[in-house]
């Protein structure tokens, strides 16, 4: 990410503002910035979504392919996350420069989704032990303006909601082998239920207080941050602390509570908006990057 | 599957000398010095430009009389029909990177910024044929958005030759049919060719027909690019003055 250099005065200004619950752009400590969300942006994917939060721009494309299930989970499909930090965001991501950050985000997302209740993986099974649907979730970071983990998780949630998996019928071929028939009908598809999927909320500790959705300058002042994966019901699916500073257990509990409260709200709002967007159907105005 | 019907229509309903639908927007991102987004049919490309700035890695590569042009061509893993395993680093991407670098070295006024570097990053979001041509068009707009002095616009277009007819602006289906493909990038006002590549086999008698078709297509693209720049400047100056 682009290096921001802050003077001592700027740092103090930000810390004092947060103490009074008024950040540099007027938000309170628990407010998110304005978000633009659009699904079905890329056509040759099974599902896609794009989210723009201030300067952060993330595009997610999901491709569904048929593959072999894992031996320890023979009757479940699976999700594979891949993050690509595009050089568009900053020249430091050229070549393999963004790989560290990319691995970080993809591992955090995998951990957040790696539990039996997030997504109904058994519905992705076609033939136990032999064939299942593998959803390749590809996240493309186009611009980095702070708070990447949260935006990536919201975009994944939206893209999963948009995903259409063709229905498969099995029949026995002439040689006794089971053959798969994919339906050609674009409306004969299976959708995924994303009500239980987690969103990642990053809570950053600045001074003695903590904030949600840190901008780039606020991230520079932050000593430690906690990333929690929260579902709509408030269940914590994953948790990780990062940053140079250390946290006292009391502040840790407070940060988890804030994360849960904000996470529940944002999940509810996201789901509501996704349903509204879907209801527009054919009337939806396709904007993409042209708007 | 016939690529050109008896009535003279192609697979997507176009006539042989028709371009795909062209849509473009400049200044898509605020953090980059220049950025642009171009859609040609179903091919969607984002280009960003950083620079001119000091050479970061390998100060030894500084050239005393001209600017270093650093390109990177990358395709999103979900951009193609079959999922790509790696967005960049494979041979095709490296080759495209070199082609883009060569094309823009011919157009940018490199003598103005010695010992400096200009980065051009291209990201293909959706690929349906004409990746190089759309990338060149997007990068031209991004360079104009960044305010980097150029001799002229760079406009690119591809043409093919099927059933004795030159076809303009071919899509993925027409590209993978095995017919010859001629890719041309020109500087429209002077009609100089900055980049030329031909694949497969084409009889020399037909070369001038296909080349003329491609160059005419490039001039049409130039009209679209110019209109995009004019619209962008009008909207920016309107928001500045109000």
Q: What local confidence, expressed as pLDDT, does residue A177 receive?
A: 75
Q: Read off the pLDDT band of A145 (50, 70, 90).
A: confident
Q: State whether residue B101 sits within 8 Å of chain A by CB.
A: no
* B78 vs A contacts (CB less than 8 Å): 42, 44-45, 48, 61-63, 136, 138
Distance CA B24, CA B228 (A): 7
Average pLDDT, chain B: 93
Q: State whether residue B133 sits within 8 Å of chain A by CB.
A: no
CB-nearest to A289 from B28, B48, B77 is B28
- With CA atoms as reference, the chain A residue closest to B118 would be A91
Token representation of residue A260: 């849960």
Residue A229 has pLDDT above 90, yes or no: yes
Interface test with A, best of B78, B172, B173 (most A CBs within 10 A): B78
- In this predicted model, what pLDDT tens digit does every residue of A123-135 receive, in sequence order? 889 888 888 999 9
Who contacts A195 (Cβ-Cβ below 8 Å, separation ≥6)? A232, A271
Q: What local confidence, expressed as pLDDT, does residue A1 receive?
A: 47
Q: Phi and psi of B181, rounded to 5°?
A: -130, 125
Interface test with B, best of A94, A95, A148 (most B CBs within 10 A): A94
Establish how many alpha carbons lie within 13 A of residue A117's alpha carbon, considering only the half-sphere containing its beta carbon. Answer: 13
* A84 vs B contacts (CB less than 8 Å): 74, 76-77, 87
Q: State whether residue B37 sits within 8 Å of chain A by CB.
A: yes
Instruction: Verify cis geometry, omega within 30 degrees of 0, for the bond prior to A226.
Output: no
Cβ–Cβ gap A63/B30 under 8 Å? no
Map tokens 């209109």 to a residue. B227
- In this predicted model, what pLDDT tens digit does every residue of B148-169 receive, in sequence order? 999 999 999 999 999 899 999 9
* B224 vs A contacts (CB less than 8 Å): none
Mean pLDDT, residues A199-208? 93
Residue A97 has pLDDT above 50, yes or no: yes
Q: What is the DSSP letter of A196?
A: T
**pTM of the predicted model as reported, rounded to 2 decimal places:** 0.92
Sequential DSSP letters for chain A? -PPP---HHHHHHHHHHHHTT--TTS--TTPPPPEEEEE--STTSSEEEEEEETTEEEEEEEEEEEEPPPTTSTT--EEEEEEEE-TTT-GGGTTTTTHHHHHHHHHHHHHHH-STTTS-GGGGEEETTTEEEEEEEEEEEEE--S-HHHHHHHHHHHHHHH-EEE-EEEEE-TTS-EEEEE---TTSEEE---TT--EEEEEEEETTEEEES--HHHHHH-SEEEEEEE-TT--EEEEEEESSS---HHHHHHHHHHHHHHHHHHHHHHHHHHHHHHHHGGG----TT--
Q: What local confidence, expressed as pLDDT, does residue B168 receive?
A: 94
Q: State whether residue B206 sits within 8 Å of chain A by CB.
A: no
Mean pLDDT, residues A84-98? 88
Establish how many alpha carbons lie within 13 A of residue A48's alpha carbon, considering only the half-sphere containing its beta carbon. Answer: 20
User: How many Cβ pairs closer than 8 A exist between chain A and B?
Assistant: 96
- In this predicted model, what pLDDT tens digit does every residue of A107-117 receive, in sequence order? 999 999 998 88
Average pLDDT, chain A: 90
Q: Read off the pLDDT band of A3 (50, 70, 90).
A: low
Mean pLDDT, residues B27-50? 94
CB-nearest to B121 from A63, A87, A289 is A87
Mean pLDDT, residues B100-123? 94
Closest by alpha carbon to B108, among B132, B144, B138, B155?
Answer: B144
Mean pLDDT, residues A240-269? 92
Closest by alpha carbon to B119, among B102, B93, B143, B95?
Answer: B143
Residue A102 has pLDDT above 90, yes or no: yes
Q: What local confidence, expressed as pLDDT, does residue B53 receive?
A: 92
What share of chain B has pLDDT > 70, as a percent? Answer: 100
Mean pLDDT, residues A19-39? 91
Helices B204-241, B131-146: axis angle to 10 degrees equals 30
Distance CA A160, CA A162 (A): 5
Cβ–Cβ gap A94/B44 under 8 Å? no
What is the interface pTM, i.e. ipTM, of the complex? 0.89
Residue A122 has pLDDT above 50, yes or no: yes
User: What burial letters (b/e) apply to A81-111, b meaning 16+ CB within 10 Å?
Assistant: bbbbbbbbbbbbbbeeebeebbebbbebbeb
Q: Read off the pLDDT band of A2 (50, 70, 90).
A: low
């Amino acid at each position: 990410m682009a290096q921001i250099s802050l003077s001592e005065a700027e740092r103090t200004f930000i810390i004092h503002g947060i103490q009074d619950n008024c950040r540099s752009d007027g938000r309170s400590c628990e407010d998110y910035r304005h978000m633009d969300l659009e699904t079905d942006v890329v056509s040759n994917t099974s599902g896609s979504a794009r989210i723009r939060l201030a300067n952060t721009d993330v595009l997610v494309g999901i491709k569904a392919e048929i593959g072999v299930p894992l031996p320890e989970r023979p009757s479940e499909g699976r999700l594979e996350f891949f993050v690509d930090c595009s050089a568009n965001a900053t020249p430091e991501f050229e070549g393999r420069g963004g790989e560290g950050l990319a691995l970080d985000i993809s591992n955090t997302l995998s951990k957040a989704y790696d539990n039996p209740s997030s997504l109904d993986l058994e519905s992705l099974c076609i033939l136990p032990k032999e064939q299942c649907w593998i959803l390749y979730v590809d996240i493309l970071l186009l611009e980095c303006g702070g708070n990447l983990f949260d935006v990536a998780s919201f975009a994944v949630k939206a893209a999963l909601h948009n995903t259409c998996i063709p229905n498969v019928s099995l029949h026995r071929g002439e040689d006794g082998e089971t053959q798969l028939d994919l339906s050609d009908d674009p409306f004969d598809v299976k959708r995924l239920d994303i009500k239980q999927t987690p969103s990642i909320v990053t809570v950053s500790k600045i001074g003695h207080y903590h904030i949600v959705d840190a901008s780039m300058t606020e991230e520079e002042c932050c000593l430690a941050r906690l990333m929690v994966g929260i579902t709509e019901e408030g269940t914590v699916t994953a948790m990780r602390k990062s940053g140079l500073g250390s946290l006292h257990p009391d502040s840790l509990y407070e940060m988890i509570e804030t994360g849960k409260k904000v996470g529940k709200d944002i999940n509810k709002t996201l789901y509501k908006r996704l349903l509204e967007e879907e209801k527009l159907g054919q009337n939806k105005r396709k904007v993409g990057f042209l708007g | 599957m016939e690529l050109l019907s008896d009535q003279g229509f192609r697979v997507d309903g176009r006539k042989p000398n028709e371009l795909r639908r062209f849509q473009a927007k400049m200044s898509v991102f605020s953090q980059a010095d220049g950025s642009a987004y171009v859609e040609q049919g179903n091919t969607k490309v984002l280009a960003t430009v950083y620079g001119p700035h000091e050479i970061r890695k390998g100060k030894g590569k500084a050239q005393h009389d001209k600017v270093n042009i650093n390109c990177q061509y990358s395709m999103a893993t979900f951009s193609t029909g079959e999922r790509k395993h790696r967005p960049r680093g494979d041979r095709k991407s490296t080759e495209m990177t070199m082609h883009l670098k060569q094309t823009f070295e011919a157009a940018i006024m490199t003598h103005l910024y010695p010992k400096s570097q200009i980065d051009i990053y291209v990201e293909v979001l959706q690929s349906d044929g004409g990746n190089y041509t759309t990338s060149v068009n997007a990068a031209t707009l991004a360079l104009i958005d960044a305010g980097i002095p150029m001799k002229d616009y760079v406009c690119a277009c591809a043409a093919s030759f099927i059933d004795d007819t030159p076809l303009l602006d071919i899509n993925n289906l027409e590209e993978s049919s095995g017919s010859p493909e001629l890719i041309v990038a020109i500087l429209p006002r002077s009609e100089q060719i900055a980049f030329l590549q031909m694949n497969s086999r084409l009889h020399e008698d037909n070369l001038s027909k296909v080349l003329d078709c491609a160059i005419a297509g490039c001039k049409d693209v130039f009209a679209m690019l110019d209109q995009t720049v004019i619209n962008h400047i009008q909207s920016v100056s309107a928001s500045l003055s109000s």
